[in-house]
Each structure stands twice: as structure tokens, then as C-alpha cells.
Structure 1
Amino acid sequence: MPTPPSAAPREKPLIRDRGDACPGALRLHAADDGFLARVRIPAGLLTAPQAEALALAADRFGDGHLEITSRGNVQLRGLAEDCGAGPAELLDAAGLLPAPAHERVRNIVATPMAGLEGPHRPDALAWALAFDRLLCASAGATALSGRFLFAFDDGRGDVAALGPDVTVLGRPDGRALIRLGGAADAVEVAAPHAPRAVLLAAAYFLDTAAAAGTRAWRVSELPPEHPLKAAELARRCAVAGFEAVDAGTQAWPYAPPPAPAGPDADGRGALCVLPPLGRASTAQWRVLVEVAEQGRGQLRVTPWRGVVLPPGDAPWAASVTARIEDAALVLAPDGPWQSVTACTGRPGCAKSLADVRADARAVVDRARGPLPVHWSGCERRCGHPRGTAWVDLVAGPTGYRLAAPGRPARHHVPDTPTELAAALADARTTPPAPEPAVKK
């Protein structure tokens, strides 16, 4: 079972000499296939009209596709340099840019199934949306990096495993734990105070980063002599007017992401849909929008590049499953695309050494296995999985390097489909060999 990442000590402190270059909806990134806009979707929540607005923006200004990121955001690619304010105006009209100065720091994930499986778990989605309103109203929050991540977990441990900078973990007793980075300890507050406590945690990080003088982007980058302490966050909460307790060391749960799933036997339940490699044409995306309108009129974009469609009061139409699968979107929990992710690769990224998406498609049916795999076009490994063991496939000048948990890396795996599929299938399915006994 994965455990929260710890902040490993560094021999030398990481010193940033500039701000982060993360793109946003207003600050575009120049890629090899045109400009890229990243639209933050706090908690992954979209109304059907907002989702339609994204499709319209992709058709009108981009390449006709939408990409889901590993933080549950949505990217538009292929934008023209002279597209002007058109995309921003369209997104703003849909309510997707409520605070332009904050749009890059609204990196907020939440348990996608929160509130959909009965009252036994707290509604982490409501916390996340309340926090987003507080974040957008805070002038100081604009100093956060575009990489700083907030997570609101309903207690199962799914988004808590993503390496967030601040995590809320719900408890069934009306309380919530607040974790700073990968710390083992936490602060406990009454659940209604969790959003305010998270904003105080962000301010605490900014104060600490300023004192350290290293321009850290994330909690894990703070030098060891400037740690974030649960006791100090508890003190700041008390000053703000609500009780917080240093809860000491905690055992952190873990839950896997929701698997693809269609309606249950009664035609009810949430639909968990996976666009292969997190990329959907606007035609595929509009199928999701139309199906969502038969349910709650809501789409929840997940950090695992999927989409959850909450049910409405009536059962899903009998044609829903066929409609989604006919659009080449995945509903079956045992499909070949489950747990297969990739960076952009060629031709969109100048740093990539391979068209990783094309290579993934060429072998996906022959390289199945329980372990997730991430295809990377270069050593940066953009968008790789977090919170779980995974097979690491990185393109190089003479083929791929393949590394699996507990095994030495294989270098120069040929990128011919047959050889690559065999090597990858073995890495995803064969358990790591036991370490040799040490003779005494």
C-alpha cells in the first residue's frame, strides 16, 4: 500500500531563480503544435454548459481536442498565436475564469466519487468548492506557484495519495485532518473549518518560503531548516478564531482511482468513463456532455484523466453504454487502456524523442497488466502517476528505457511494436523477483 511521500533531505537546498512557467487559460505556452491553454477546473467539477464551452473553444480556436491532465484540469492545444482574447472571453462567459489573477493557482483536486455513494462519507467536493471561493478572494494567494496542489479527500485516500502540498482528509465524526506536504502528522479541525484551515496553510507556506529565501514552489522544496509544523498551523487557526488540534502522527489510508464502470444492474450509479490517454475529440467530449444531461447535468474530471458522470433521479437510458462505447470511450473495467498514460510526445513537444501516444496505441492490446504504465518522451516524465507503483517507459535516442518496481531498468528496449509489447507486458504483469539472500 503506498504511503504519503516524505520530504527527503537534500544535500543542498533547491533555489529557484524564477517563477514557475506553468501555463494557464490566460498565459499560454508555446508548443510545437501551437499554443497551449490550461484551464483549471477546481475539484474537477463542470456543468454541462461549461463542458460544452470547452468543446466550442477547442473547435473555434484549437485543434478540436481536449486533454485531461494529471491534476484534473483541461488543456486546449493548437491555439494560434493571434487568437487574441477569444478563448478567454468564451471561458469567462461560461464561469470558468471567476478570478483572472488566481486562475493558475486554482489547482484543487477532490475525491471524484464524493457524495455519490451514500452519507457514510463527508462531501469533500463541497469543501473544495468553498475553498476555491476563499482562494479567489485572497490577494495573497496569487503568490502561490502554478504547481502548488490542494487535495480534498473524503477519507478513502484516493486524492490524498497524489502528493498534494495541502491535504484535507475527511473523517466520519464530522472532523477533518489537514496535512502539510508529505508529513506523517496532521492538524485536526471541525469539518466546516477545513477550507479556512487550508487557506491558512497556504499562507503559512508562503511565509516560510519567504523566510527561507529559496523561492520554493512546493512544500517538498522547503529546506530542512525551514519545515512546516502542525503545531504552528494549529496556532494560526486559533488566532483566526477556530479550534485546531495538533493530532500527531496519523495512519494515512489509500484507495485506487475509480475504475471505468457503466450503469449497475438497475440502470443506476455513476458512470466512470476513460478517454484513452486522457485525450478526447470534441465529438467524443460532446457525447459525454449529452449523457451528463441525462443525469445530474454534471461532469467530474478526475486526476487520473477520466470523467465521472453522476446519475440523476431516473435510471440511465438503456442506450447509454452503447452510446459511450461507440464513441471509442472506455466503460469496461478490464479494458486495455486502463492505467495507461502518456505525456504529449511528438509532434506537440519539442523535447520529446518519440511519438509516445502512437507507440502506446500500437502495443496497448498486447501489453496489458495490473501495473500502471506511463509513456514519457523525455526524462521530465510529464504527467506521470503518483501515489502508486508504476512502470516507467522513457524514450531515448536508441529506443526506450523501461523500469519496473523492484527490478533493474532495461535500457535500449527497441521501439518496434512486437519487442516493445513483449517487454512491457512482462514488466506490467510479472511480480518483481525477490532480492537475493545475503550470506552471513
Structure 2
Amino acid sequence: MLAAMPDSAPSPLSVGGPSPRDGGDACPGTLRLHRADDGALARVRVPGGVLSADRADALLAVAGRFGDGELHLTSRGNVQLRGLDAECGGGPAELLGAAGLLPSAAHERARNIVASPLAGLDGSPSVGGWLSELDGLVCGSADAAALSGRFLFALDSGRGDVDALGADVTLIAEGDGCLLRVGAADEVFRLRAADGPRAALLAAEAFLRAARDSGAWRVKDLPDGVRAALVRAIGAAAGPAVHHPRPAAPKVPAPGLVTAPDHSTTATVTATAPVTVTAISVGVPLGRLAPAQWRLLTETARRYGNELRLTPWRGIIVPGPFGPSELSDHSGSSGHSGPASEALDTLAAAGLITGPDSPWTGVGACIGHPGCAKSLSDVRAEAGAAVGPVGRLPVYWSGCERRCGHPHGEWIDVVVTPDGHRISHVRGEHRDPRAAVRDNPAELAAAVAAARA
């Protein structure tokens, strides 16, 4: 079992104790709201993106009673409620707490945990046990309350999806054990699967000790020498390191039906063949859900597995069981027949992304103007106007240089500048030479389409 960090490490931060970071973490939560141009904003942490239907109902109720009624998915699988009345007081937190969405007021912004959304559904192992245990450990640690709202845990089922997101502490399932990664290091530590959640918490607490003097919010913010010493300290407790490079790009769940192992949601099938549909995968255009769409997703979940899984790519997985389905070239837009196909068609009619041929596939944007005062343009409207044929690469539109919520891996980066729009091809840390487009909608749409192709 992973031991505690060596005694030679600096003493841990005390909750509420002096720190160069005190007062500087502006990440919103449920208790501390952010003032945006369209009203106050609350960010509700949903560890692993996992919501029961009842908790999904509670989120919708809060959005309707106190906000603009819509629900916005974030790049960490959380939910943002926008347009909240500045006089709402503790009303949202009271309702969310009653629904079990606020188990610890001290830790509400520290519960940043992403998890492989298809874990246990596509043949990869479930990480549900890890998720429950880690969330409980974080909420039970006085030191963990000092983690910033930017610090991120990731639980990867071995698919390499959330491992590619650059979390601060990542657990990766491997056979009957697991790997522990700290930051973006290519070296990982092999552990027993049962020791993974506690090892992740100890690594986060060790980060807090290392960050005490530097004021770093995340592992990547630490000075190089401090970061290397942190990894060495964790290795001294965890055991020998193993070379395991982080994936360059996440394996994003494709929209459509998720079937049992060895079946592809996009394969062309010429003969009728029974398969087991384990889940439905949908994308959400620009991550924004109208009340009717959220209600439909919740009703679908309640009819089958009673669960929604919000993905870090602004999508939603509805686990089954849906029972057997027939693969056929002549049965609906999905190529399947059965209850899952019918549910998918209903979600498609509601405006959600249910297949790879949707023009919205791979299109993302920050909130833009008028919701954000720093944005130089209404990038969501611009992204919608530029939607065209499906591109090979995803595209993300940002209203300013902060590029909030941008993806990882490889994508086309569109940033509004005072002189127009800058279009770049990003691959990890590499950025191709930039092209600038003046304010010409037709020219901009053509340039983005060409870059994505």
C-alpha cells in the first residue's frame, strides 16, 4: 500500500492558513458566484460527470428558478448555471445541497474529478468504485480543502481519453492494478488498484506542501526543480517509476449507440446482426442545453439506467441497459433498430448531435459576448454561421486570448483579436503559423472549413 509522503517534506498547509495564493483563486463554485455580463454564474462540480436523474432534475430546477433556465456543460464535465439573479443569495446552494450535489461546503470547488465516460460500457473496466472513494477522501481531508478550483484529478479506464487531458493527478487502470501519473510526466508509478484513490489524495496533499512557497495552482505551475522534487517524493512512497507517455490526444466518445465490445458505432453492417447496446452517446452543440433538451435526456435516463454521464467534451452518455438491437442498413438513421435507436432518433429531433455526420460535430466555443465582458465578439453566433461540412479536426472559437475551455490534443484554434480572427492549427504544444482573417463572415467560414479539412 502507498505510504504517506516522507517526513522530510514541508508540513502540509492548514485550511485557511496563510498562503501566497489566498484570495487569488477566482474559480466560481456554488457558494462563490462569478459576476458575468449576463448575470451571476455558478459552477456545480459533478465528480466524474455522473448524475442520477433526480439530481439532474434538481439542476434544472435551480436553473429555472434562479437563472436563465439553460444548463451549460464545461470542459471538465461540470455544469454552469448562468444569468443568476444577484439577489439569489444562498437559494441555489440550499436546493443543490438538498439534492446531494453539495456534500461539503469546504470542498465544493476541490471536487474536480473527470472520469472515462464509457468506463464499464465499452469493454473497459468501471472506475465507479474509484470515483466514489476518491470523492469521499477529498471531502474528508482538511488539507484538500486548500486545493484550488483549477486542480484536476482524472480517472482513466485504460482508454487513454481523460489521461490525455493533462490533469494534475491521474489514475489509469491497467490489468488488475493501476498507474499513478503526476502532472504531465511520462513516468508513472504502478500500484494496486485498491490503493489508487488514497494514492491520488496523498499526491494532491504533497502538491499543496510543494506549492506553499511558490503559490502554484496546479502541478504544471510549479518551478521545474520543485515539480521534479515532488515527483521524486511521491516515487519514494509509491515505488519504481514506469515509462508510460501521456496520449497526445483524447479518444473522444463518438456520438451514436455504444455497443458491447468488438462492435463499432460507425461500422457499416450489411447483414442483420444482434448486438447489445450499452449506452447512447450524444453531443451538445456548443455545450448549451435548453430546458426541454435537458428534460428529455433526464426522462431517457430515468427510463433505462437512471444515470447521465457528462463528458469533458461537452457531450452526454446515457447508460442502459437497452437490451438487444438489430444492426441493419434499412432501419433508421443510426443503422440500428430497437429501443435505443428510437431514443437516439428522439434526441436527434431535439437538436442534439447523434451521429458523426452532424455539422456541429467537433465545433466548440467559449461563452463569448454578451455573456463575457472580455470577449471581443459573439463567437457562438459566429461559430453557428460558419457551420458547414464535417471537418477532420475539431474547431474551437474563443472571444479573447484567454481561450477559456479550449480542447486538448489537435484542433483548429480560432481567436478573435482587435484586427479580426486568428486561425491556428494546434497540435499539443506546437502551433502552426497563424492566418488572420478580417471581419468578413464568408471569408472566415471558408478559412475555418479549409483549416479543418
Answer whether TM exceeds 0.5 for this pair.
Answer: yes
Alignment of 1:290 with 2:290, yes or no, is no
Distance in 1 between residues matched to 2:296 and 2:322, nearest whole Å: 20
Q: Which residue does 1:404 correspond to in 2?
A: 425
Please say if residues 41 and 82 of structure 2, whose CA atoms lie closer than 8 Å, have aligned partners that are also in contact: yes
Equivalent residue, structure 2, for 1:185: 187
Q: Distance in 1 between matches of 2:98 and 2:309?
A: 20
Q: For residues 199-243 of structure 1, what are the alpha-carbon distances to aligned partners after superposition, in whole Å with 9 as ceiling and x for unaligned?
A: 000011011111xx121000011112212444421444xxxxxxx
Partner of 1:335: 358
**Map 1:37-436 → 2, pairs under 5 A:** 37-118=42-123, 121-172=124-175, 174-210=176-212, 213-227=213-227, 228-236=229-237, 244-253=238-247, 255-262=250-257, 266=275, 268-312=277-321, 314=323, 316=339, 319-366=342-389, 368-386=390-408, 388-405=409-426, 407-411=432-436, 413-429=437-453
Cα distance in 2 between the residues matched to 1:57 and 1:154:
32
CA pair 267-323 structure 1, distance change in 2 beyond 3 A: farther
Per the alignment, residue 6 of structure 2 pairs with none
Letter in 1 for 2:240: D
User: What's the CA shift for 1:16?
Assistant: 5.8
Distance in 2 separating the partners of 1:22 and 1:206: 17
Rounded Cα–Cα distance in structure 2 between residues aligned with 1:199 and 1:16: 20
Distance 1:251 1:391 in 2: 24
Which residue is 1:433 aligned to?
A: none
SS of corresponding position for 2:163: helix
Aligned-partner SS, 2:320: coil
Instruction: Supply the distance in 1 between the matched residues of 2:425 and 2:142 (Cα, whole angstroms).
Output: 44
**Letter paired with 2:80:** Q
Residue type of the alignment partner of 2:313? W
Q: Say if 1:331 and 1:141 are closer, same or farther in 2 by CA, change over 3 A.
A: same
Contact 1:111–1:125 (Cα < 8 Å) also in 2: no
Superposed CA RMSD in Å reads 1.7
**1:5-34: per-residue Cα shift (whole Å, max 9, x none)?**
xxxxxxxxxx86852100001100000000
Q: Output one character per residue of 1:345-397: Cα deviation in whole Å (capped at 9) or x when no partner.
A: 0110000000000011111125x3111111000000000001x1111100122
1:92·1:98 contact (CA, 8 Å) conserved in 2? Answer: yes
Cα gap change, 1:341 to 1:45, in 2 (>3 Å)? same
Distance 1:101 1:414, change over 3 A: same
Q: Structure 1 residues 422, 98: CA separation in 2 closer, same or farther (over 3 Å shift)?
A: same
Partner AA of 1:261 in structure 2 = G
C-alpha displacement of 1:335: 1.3
Q: Relative to 1, partners in 2 of residues 1:428 and 1:98: Cα closer, same or farther, differing over 3 Å?
A: same
Deviations 1:172-220 (A, max 9, x none): 1x1111111011111211001100000000011011111xx12100001
Residue pair 1:187, 1:230 contacting (<8 A) in 2 also: no
Specify whether residues 17 and 97 from structure 1 end up closer, same or farther in structure 2 by C-alpha distance, changes over 3 A only: closer
Give the direction of change, closer, same or farther, for the CA distance of 1:415–1:325 in structure 2 (3 Å limit).
Answer: farther
CA pair 267-116 structure 1, distance change in 2 beyond 3 A: closer
1:5 aligns to what?
Answer: none
* Letter of the structure 2 residue corresponding to residue 55 of structure 1: L
Higher strand share: 2
CA distance in 2 between counterparts of 1:319 and 1:201 reads 45
Task: Please state whether the residue corresponding to 2:277 is helix, strand or coil.
Answer: coil
- CA distance 1:393–1:313, shift in 2 (3 Å): closer
**Distance in structure 2 (CA, Å) of the matches to 1:194 and 1:415:** 51
SS in 2 for 1:289: helix
| Gaps in structure 2 of 5+ consecutive residues | 1-19, 260-273, 325-338
Amino acid at match of 1:369: G
In 2, are the aligned partners of 1:231 and 1:246 still within 8 Å (CA)?
A: no
Extract unaligned runs of 5+ from structure 1.
1-14, 237-243, 430-440
Q: Which of residues 21, 29, 35 is equivalent to 1:24?
A: 29
Q: Shift in Å at residue 263 of structure 1?
A: 6.3
Aligned to 1:8: none
**Counterpart AA for 2:425:** A
Equivalents in 2 of 1:289, 1:267: separation in Å? 22
Deviation at 1:266, TM superposition (A): 4.9
